[in-house]
Amino acid sequence: MTTHPTPPAGWYADPQGTPNLLRYWDGAQWTEHTNPGQVQQPQQQGGGNAWELNVSRPPEPAKVQKQVQQQAGIAPTAFGGGTLFSEPVLVVNQKAKLIELVNEYSVFDQNGNTLGSVVEVGQSTAKKVLRFVSSVDQFLTHKLEVRDAHGQPQLVLTRPAKFIKSKVLVQRPSGEPLGEIVQQNAIGKINFAFMYNGQKIGAIKAENWRAWNFAIVDHTETEIGRITKTWEGLAKTMFTTADNYVLQIHRPLDDPLLSMVVASALTVDTALKQDSRGLG
């Protein structure tokens, strides 16, 4: 009787046949962890093992859990509603690229399940070339779409070209404005205010001059969340521009503050990275 080898742990096409859905196999059984991804045709190698799929693989759930619990120091918390706006912990991981031409991030919950993505849109070929040959990135306009796990836009974030201070315009996909994230200072610890209809409803504050970690406060200066940068190792940090963050929201929030907090976590790299380099 022919026996088939047990496949190694990893992401594979959903056994239930859901199109373009990957499910995590832990080496012994299927888990509840799923991730949208483009499944390609099986690689016919050796005995033609159907498990040998060439897919764009997201991080393993265990790695995301380690990032949250060990690197960010966040203890496991109660589950949220399974969306970008209902989970108490968001893990934001930039896709590592040696040459960074387009900003792109994946967003997970604390257990490694995909909640969505952040993708830069509207980049012309000329702008991509300009980003490659120069360091003028901070003087270019950036437009990001925040998408849910099904690829549907949830927020549109625009960071206009800046000279000294940066700001991010937050809108719904319909164009309805939700507010602005506005840089308050150009020297020292970076401080961004959340502005809505001309009123300050909160802020994101760097805890040191290199702007690695941030406290998020409401209009009373009470901390409502925290962003912690997590490291992938010195070599990777030196040779790529990938940045990984964990957002922890301390209590349930309402809009527009909720969307501003989520937007600040998902754009902290685009809005602040060039500024922190300048301060360094």
| Nearest to 60, CA basis, from 120, 105, 108 | 108
CA angle 150, 146, 86 (to 5 degrees): 75
High-pLDDT (> 70) share of the chain, % = 66
pLDDT of residue 16: 65
CB within 8 Å of 165: residues ≥ 6 apart:
182, 183, 184, 185, 186
pLDDT of residue 47: 45
pLDDT of residue 190: 81
Q: Cα dihedral sign for 212, 217, 223, 226? A: negative
pLDDT of residue 265: 86
Residue 82 clears pLDDT 70, i.e. is over it: yes
Q: pLDDT band at residue 156, thresholds of 50, 70 and 90?
A: very high
Domain range list for the chain = 10-55, 61-279
Alpha-carbon separation of residue 261 from 3, 106, 146 (angstroms): 52, 17, 13
pLDDT of residue 240: 43
CATH number at 61-279: 2.40.160.200
High-pLDDT (> 90) share of the chain, % = 31
CB half-sphere exposure, 86, CA atoms < 13 A = 6
Which range is most confident: 35-39, 115-119, 162-166, 214-218?
Answer: 214-218
pLDDT of residue 270: 66
Q: pLDDT band at residue 18, thresholds of 50, 70 and 90?
A: low
The CA distance from 245 to 259, in Å, is 17
Please write the tens of the pLDDT for every residue from 241-251.
456 889 999 99
pLDDT of residue 38: 53
Question: For the residues 155-183, what does the mean pLDDT come to?
Answer: 87
Greater pLDDT, 279 or 147: 147
pLDDT of residue 236: 42
Alpha-carbon separation of residue 17 from 112, 136, 220, 238 (angstroms): 21, 46, 50, 41
Residue 124 clears pLDDT 70, i.e. is over it: no
Question: For the residues 185-211, what does the mean pLDDT come to?
Answer: 86
Q: pLDDT band at residue 100, thresholds of 50, 70 and 90?
A: very low
Please write the tens of the pLDDT for every residue from 52-78.
444 445 667 888 888 898 888 888 877
Question: For the residues 151-164, what does the mean pLDDT come to?
Answer: 83
The verdict on whether omega for the bond into residue 256 sits within 30 degrees of 0, i.e. cis, is yes
Q: pLDDT band at residue 135, thresholds of 50, 70 and 90?
A: very low
Q: pLDDT band at residue 262, thresholds of 50, 70 and 90?
A: very high
pLDDT of residue 98: 42
Residue 165 clears pLDDT 50, i.e. is over it: yes
